[in-house]
Amino acid sequence: NIPLMRVVMSKKQTKRKSNKILKEGWVVHYTNQMNMRKKHYWRLDTKSLTMYQDESSTRYYK
């Protein structure tokens, strides 16, 4: 038996393309403690701002 919580947590992070994309682009960020620059692709639609690993990825950050 697999606990229900594990099944829900293992669900793949994907987002439907149902909303119209208003703006999109790249963001580069870093902190005072970590100088490593991180780069993410973002899309603003009618409901939310979503950050992705790259332009073609369907996986996004919560």
**CA-based diameter of the chain, in Å?**
46
- Percentage above 70 pLDDT, the chain: 69
The residue segments making up the domain with residue 21 are: 13-61
Amino acid identity, position 34? M
Q: Is residue 23 part of a domain?
A: yes
C-alpha span between 10 and 44 (Å, rounded): 26
Which band of pLDDT confidence, cut at 50, 70 and 90, is reported for residue 58? Answer: confident
Arithmetic mean of pLDDT, 25-42:
90
C-alpha span between 2 and 31 (Å, rounded): 39
Q: Is residue 5 part of a domain?
A: no
Indicate the number of domains in the chain: 1
How far are the Cα atoms of 15, 21, 56 from residue 18, in angstroms, in the given order?
9, 9, 16
